[in-house]
Chains A and B, each alone.
Chain A
Amino acid sequence: MKHYSLYLLALAVLALVAIQTTTPMSVAGFGGAIAMVCVLLAHLPTFLPVAMVEEFFGKAPAPLQPLDVLLTLVVVFSWLMVEVVDGPGWSNPLTVLLVPLGLAMGFGAVRVNSRLAAEIARHAAPNPVSDIQQLRQVTARAAYILRALAAAASLITALWVLGAGTDVASAWGGAGAALCGAAALVVVGVGVNAMRQQARGAGQMAGVALSHMEHITQGPAEVILYCSNKPTAKHDRINKLAAGMVAEGLRCAIVAREWQSLKLLKSFGATYLWPVPFLAGISAVARPDVRAVFYTHDGVKNGHFTRFNQFRHILEAKTGALARAESLPQSVSMYDYVIAPSPSVAAAWRAADSAADPGRILTTDFSKLAPAMEGDPQGALANVALFLPPPETAYTPVPAATRTAIQALFRHYQAASDAHMNALTYQDLIGPVPSNKSRPRSSLSEISRLYVSFAPGDTDALTLWHKPLLAIADDEDVPLISHAYGQPKTIWAEGQILMVATYDQAVILRATGKPLLWIGEGPAPEGMVAYCPSSAVPIHEQARPAAPDPHHFTSYRALMANVAPVASAAGGKRG
């Protein structure tokens, strides 16, 4: 602001001095020279691009924006001064009118070009090789030069009037400025028209350009992540999907329907990013090698893409209002598959609409739980893993039966620890027992352990029924129980026998192929065995692996192979 104030003040002072020191009859002498300096200073900024003026003077404050208007007004001001200095009456009215008109047209042309070019560029999307910039630059440069010529015409005419006095021919200067301004508008008009046509052509060619880009870069996209909303938290899901797919070696493309989200989506690391701000460009991204399209929310514009029935359309409903719905609304029927937030929600959705294909609702868990290894010990030494459900809330109370079973499990290992410690103590007292092949001497490290994960990371958050369990686990005299806090993934990876407390766990853990034991409330889910604390049968003999849920997937590749298998090549080259 300071620079602008100084500049305007200097102009005003110079103008006043010029007016005061110039006799009406003659502009010669000191006053005339001051007036010329004032005219020169007033015109100089109009020769520069607006951005350069702002670079020199600093960003113009809001009241002076747009700067084009201020610069034009300054020139008008200088012409008014010239009129006053030139003598009484209006001797150059046409010039005073035409000059600002020419300048305004010049400034306007540059600004219109810049604004429209940005808008038009979107029509070329998703063509990655559109070349609108060249037209924009040539048009902008020509419009700028013509504007500068308008300013030059004004400056030369003003100096002419001040130096040589009023002349009818000075009107030609004004006419020249106006002509330059009009020419700038013509150039921009033609340039914008050319850009529009080119963008339209580029849009029509987008499919071809994408084919080429896919071919020469990373290969054709297999999956599309369709993003039809502005940057919001929902983009996190897109990010996770993209990262997961790329990690699995799937070539995925994000189709961005909102221009504003491009910047954010670029950072997601998908194989391709295809902006499609207008419906006209959508066919171009319906690539022939794409097999499935993922949506992370049921957006209004999703219908634009679900009409391509050559793809499998999959709605991931893990977040938002849909994730909390008791049943799937009719409006999501256009998706071939819906991924539920959890197996229990999936079961509820399936139950709510018994007429629908249950296989349409899927569940996923990409936590990469270690699968059962071939040759995993499943005998007496197999480690048992248990994830303790989180503390009760109003919505997720841990059933009493589950608590009872878990407490029994703890007591079982507590007793086993006691017996084992006694045996070791006895062995120490009597000395080493001679080696016996049929009953090898055991040590603590060779004994089956119970690995427990307490869900919260803070012991204070544990509720009343956890406390006794924690006390047992913390007891140094119970070495067969190891415990930790946090997520269950680690212990489920380490355990060879997994205790299953909830329906969700059951579906997720079935995919590992490990022996499972149901410790939850009610009858064991199909294919599983319930833990029986009072049974004389050891845990490792009670546990059984259960067949994986056919609608639950642990990798994108598995999901794709199931819902959108690759079409078998038919007919060879000419087929």
Chain B
Amino acid sequence: MFLAPFLIALVATAAVHAAAAWWEARTRRDTQVTTDPASDHRLDKIGRAARLGALGVTFVLLLGAFAAQAPGAVFAIAVLIFAFLRGTLAQLDRIAALANREARLASALKGPAFNSAQMALFFSATELAKPDHVYTWQNELDQVGEPWYCITVEPQHFRALKDEGRIQAILLPNLGVGPYLLPAALKVLYFVNNAQKNRMVLRALPRLTHVQLLHGDSDKPPSYSPLTKNFDLVFVAGQMAIDRYARNGVHIPADRFRIVGRPQVAAIETRDSDATRSAPRTVIYMPTWRGFFEDTQFSSLDRADAVIKAVMALPEKVHLIFKPHPLSYKDPEWPAFKARIKAALGVKSAAGSTGEISEGAAAPFDLYNQADLLICDISSVMIDFLYSNKPLLTVLPNAFKEADRANTPSLVASYEVARDLENLEAQLAASLGEDPLAAQRRNVRAQAFGDLDLAPGAAFREACLALLADDAAVP
């Protein structure tokens, strides 16, 4: 009769210990500050001894109680005391791990992986689940040939980078203190968006050269945000971007711009307009997301089903790939849109056209390479795709007014689709047929990409290296 309580107590003790150990492992994971595992929080000798000691004493006590045929309450009390003790130790461990994050980070930043790097990329985007903007520049920064690392402030981004393991990254647990920990060797800090937290870093580290790269180039307001004025330098793809700031009243001195092209477009294959096209031709439809604000609402997502139906109704056989913007998944109406899109893709095509939704990891540039025609909204997709020399259709936003045309010079390179889609069929036919805008598109392309005379990425690399030179002149 004494065996049952003894066994139950043994199992319960082991379970409590396992649960606490799991919680402590989770603490270690939650309080990581760099991609270097050496900087993780660890139990010291006293902590390990206390845990082992508590477990050992409890087992001995249970054995003693079993041998002495103690009442069941003794087993229960022993397990409860152990559970309380073990829980308290785990709680202390978590508090300590959270509290010593800065100290661990400071120590890790003294290591060679970080201490020698002169460049870093700061990334904050509370609305993004993954650090997509970092990936946009990852290869390009790698190709500069200098060590760099990513500074994150949102745990989900740090976690993604750590899990992926391709980029050295740190997590600043406290943006107030964190910037002061960065090594003195750091000279240049790149930014890929206009996140509000950027300014805390700008303010804390005036000694650095702060460079805004942005993560795309388009005629949308983010590409001429007044926040960009905060930076020492603004790297832009071409003269079109510089003009865009001036045209929208965002006055940035000319000497703060560097034309570096869009190094990412190296992955985009170009095609002459008269090149032979294989059948069935591929149409990519990439609507942008519905922005936070009225003035950033450029999406045709609400009309996507109609666009898709028009493509599927084309007289020639095509394959349509619908690629939603990553932020569209967070749109509360996305499930409804998706249902309508799926239904439109499922419509039987007379020409035998097919369609699919690309929700996977397919990179936009891979899709550009597959495309014979792109349908998009006013967004950075337009300009990136422009590099390919292939035709594109742009669906005008619902709120588009004729006066807005002056602010969207890239539109002249694309076949405009009216808000009500009434000319969609005609524009599809023109773009897939004679392509009368081919010459105009080439002109706009030269405006958009200022480094067409160089190999893709060369201008960017040179600009980055110039900032690391001892005699670098920064306005």
Residue in B68, B77, B177, B472 whose CB lies within 8 Å of A176 = B77
**Is B71 within 8 A of A212, CB to CB?**
no
At the interface, yes or no: B207 with Cβ under 8 Å from chain A? yes
**Is A573 within 8 A of B100, CB to CB?**
no
**Is A193 within 8 A of B46, CB to CB?**
yes
The residues of A that contact B102 with a CB separation of less than 8 Å are 201, 205, 208
Complex Cα distance, B44 from A133, in Å, reads 21
At the interface, yes or no: B96 with Cβ under 8 Å from chain A? yes
At the interface, yes or no: A209 with Cβ under 8 Å from chain B? yes
At the interface, yes or no: B195 with Cβ under 8 Å from chain A? no
Report B295 CB to chain A, min CB distance, Å: 32
Residue in A212, A216, A573 whose CB lies within 8 Å of B209 = A573
At the interface, yes or no: B89 with Cβ under 8 Å from chain A? yes
Which residues of chain A from 519 to 562 have any CB-CB distance to chain B below 8 Å in the complex? none
Complex Cα distance, B255 from A140, in Å, reads 61
Complex Cα distance, B54 from A428, in Å, reads 111
Which residues of chain A from 91 to 138 have any CB-CB distance to chain B below 8 Å in the complex? 129, 131, 134-135, 138
Report A192 CB to chain B, min CB distance, Å: 9
**Is A186 within 8 A of B50, CB to CB?**
yes
Residue in A153, A193, A202 whose CB lies within 8 Å of B103 = A202
B168-182 interface code vs A (CB 8 A; 1 in, 0 out): 000000001100110
At the interface, yes or no: A574 with Cβ under 8 Å from chain B? yes
Complex Cα distance, B44 from A121, in Å, reads 20
**Is A142 within 8 A of B88, CB to CB?**
yes
At the interface, yes or no: B74 with Cβ under 8 Å from chain A? yes
A183-211 interface code vs B (CB 8 A; 1 in, 0 out): 10011011101100110011011001101
Complex Cα distance, B474 from A153, in Å, reads 73
The residues of B that contact A186 with a CB separation of less than 8 Å are 50, 53-54, 85, 89
At the interface, yes or no: A146 with Cβ under 8 Å from chain B? yes
At the interface, yes or no: A221 with Cβ under 8 Å from chain B? no
Complex Cα distance, B286 from A557, in Å, reads 64
Closest to B177 in A: A212
Report B46 CB to chain A, min CB distance, Å: 5
A363-398 interface code vs B (CB 8 A; 1 in, 0 out): 000000000000000000000000000000000000
Residue in A142, A201, A204 whose CB lies within 8 Å of B84 = A142
Report B401 CB to chain A, min CB distance, Å: 42
Residue in B78, B92, B95 whose CB lies within 8 Å of A179 = B78
Report A146 CB to chain B, min CB distance, Å: 7
**Is B88 within 8 A of A187, CB to CB?**
yes
Report B83 CB to chain A, min CB distance, Å: 11
**Is A189 within 8 A of B46, CB to CB?**
yes
At the interface, yes or no: A180 with Cβ under 8 Å from chain B? yes
Which residues of chain A from 124 to 180 have any CB-CB distance to chain B below 8 Å in the complex? 129, 131, 134-135, 138-139, 142, 145-146, 149, 153, 168-169, 172, 175-176, 179-180
The residues of A that contact B50 with a CB separation of less than 8 Å are 186, 189-190
Complex Cα distance, B85 from A204, in Å, reads 31
At the interface, yes or no: A307 with Cβ under 8 Å from chain B? no
Interface centre among A138, A169, A186 (most CB of B within 10 A): A186
Complex Cα distance, B68 from A215, in Å, reads 66
Complex Cα distance, B65 from A348, in Å, reads 87
The residues of A that contact B89 with a CB separation of less than 8 Å are 186-187, 190
Report B48 CB to chain A, min CB distance, Å: 10
Known: A172-B71, A190-B46. A208 touches B181 (CB 8 A): yes
**Is A172 within 8 A of B74, CB to CB?**
yes
Residue in B57, B103, B180 whose CB lies within 8 Å of A201 = B103
Interface centre among B53, B70, B103 (most CB of A within 10 A): B103
Complex Cα distance, B209 from A198, in Å, reads 34
Which residues of chain B from 345 to 386 have any CB-CB distance to chain A below 8 Å in the complex? none
Report A27 CB to chain B, min CB distance, Å: 21
The residues of A that contact B85 with a CB separation of less than 8 Å are 142, 146, 183, 186-187
Closest to A139 in B: B92
**Is A573 within 8 A of B207, CB to CB?**
yes
Interface centre among B47, B53, B85, B204 (most CB of A within 10 A): B85
**Is B88 within 8 A of A197, CB to CB?**
no
Residue in A138, A142, A190, A572 whose CB lies within 8 Å of B47 = A190
At the interface, yes or no: B145 with Cβ under 8 Å from chain A? no
The residues of B that contact A212 with a CB separation of less than 8 Å are 176-177, 180, 204
Complex Cα distance, B85 from A217, in Å, reads 42
B84-101 interface code vs A (CB 8 A; 1 in, 0 out): 110011011101100110
Complex Cα distance, B88 from A215, in Å, reads 37
Report B463 CB to chain A, min CB distance, Å: 15
The residues of B that contact A216 with a CB separation of less than 8 Å are 176
The residues of B that contact A197 with a CB separation of less than 8 Å are 44, 96, 100
The residues of B that contact A146 with a CB separation of less than 8 Å are 81, 84-85
Closest to B188 in A: A574
The residues of A that contact B435 with a CB separation of less than 8 Å are none
At the interface, yes or no: B302 with Cβ under 8 Å from chain A? no
Known: A142-B84, A208-B177. A194 touches B96 (CB 8 A): yes
Report A321 CB to chain B, min CB distance, Å: 43
At the interface, yes or no: B332 with Cβ under 8 Å from chain A? no
At the interface, yes or no: B187 with Cβ under 8 Å from chain A? yes
At the interface, yes or no: B249 with Cβ under 8 Å from chain A? no
The residues of A that contact B65 with a CB separation of less than 8 Å are 172
Report B69 CB to chain A, min CB distance, Å: 9
Complex Cα distance, B209 from A145, in Å, reads 54
**Is A191 within 8 A of B180, CB to CB?**
no
The residues of A that contact B144 with a CB separation of less than 8 Å are none
The residues of B that contact A205 with a CB separation of less than 8 Å are 102-103, 106, 177
Closest to B472 in A: A574
The residues of B that contact A149 with a CB separation of less than 8 Å are 81, 84
The residues of B that contact A131 with a CB separation of less than 8 Å are 99
The residues of A that contact B209 with a CB separation of less than 8 Å are 573-574
The residues of A that contact B104 with a CB separation of less than 8 Å are 201
Report A133 CB to chain B, min CB distance, Å: 10
Report A172 CB to chain B, min CB distance, Å: 5
B27-58 interface code vs A (CB 8 A; 1 in, 0 out): 00000000000000000101100100110010
Complex Cα distance, B204 from A149, in Å, reads 50
**Is B103 within 8 A of A573, CB to CB?**
no
The residues of A that contact B88 with a CB separation of less than 8 Å are 138-139, 142, 187
Complex Cα distance, B69 from A168, in Å, reads 11
Report A75 CB to chain B, min CB distance, Å: 19
**Is B232 within 8 A of A135, CB to CB?**
no
**Is B474 within 8 A of A194, CB to CB?**
no
**Is B71 within 8 A of A208, CB to CB?**
no
At the interface, yes or no: B61 with Cβ under 8 Å from chain A? yes
Complex Cα distance, B209 from A291, in Å, reads 26
Known: A212-B177, A216-B176. A179 touches B91 (CB 8 A): no
Report B184 CB to chain A, min CB distance, Å: 11
Closest to B86 in A: A183
Closest to B51 in A: A190
At the interface, yes or no: B203 with Cβ under 8 Å from chain A? yes
Which residues of chain B from 211 to 270 have any CB-CB distance to chain A below 8 Å in the complex? 232
Complex Cα distance, B102 from A209, in Å, reads 10
Report A423 CB to chain B, min CB distance, Å: 71
Report B90 CB to chain A, min CB distance, Å: 10
Complex Cα distance, B54 from A146, in Å, reads 14
List 10 A-B residue pairs with CB atoms under 8 Å apart, sorted by A's residue number: A172-B65, A183-B81, A186-B89, A187-B85, A190-B46, A191-B92, A194-B95, A205-B103, A212-B176, A215-B203
Beyond A179-B57, A186-B89, A198-B96, list 20 extra A-B contacts (CB 8 Å): A138-B95, A139-B92, A146-B81, A169-B70, A172-B65, A172-B71, A172-B74, A175-B61, A186-B53, A187-B88, A187-B89, A190-B92, A193-B47, A194-B93, A197-B100, A201-B104, A208-B180, A212-B177, A215-B203, A572-B474
Shortest 10 CB-CB contacts between residues of A and residues of B: A201-B103, A142-B88, A194-B96, A208-B180, A193-B46, A211-B180, A183-B85, A172-B74, A212-B177, A201-B100
Task: Give B residues with C-beta under 8 Å from A.
Answer: 44, 46-47, 50, 53-54, 57, 61, 65, 68, 70-71, 74, 77-78, 81, 84-85, 88-89, 91-93, 95-96, 99-100, 102-104, 106, 176-177, 180-181, 187, 203-204, 206-207, 209, 232, 472, 474
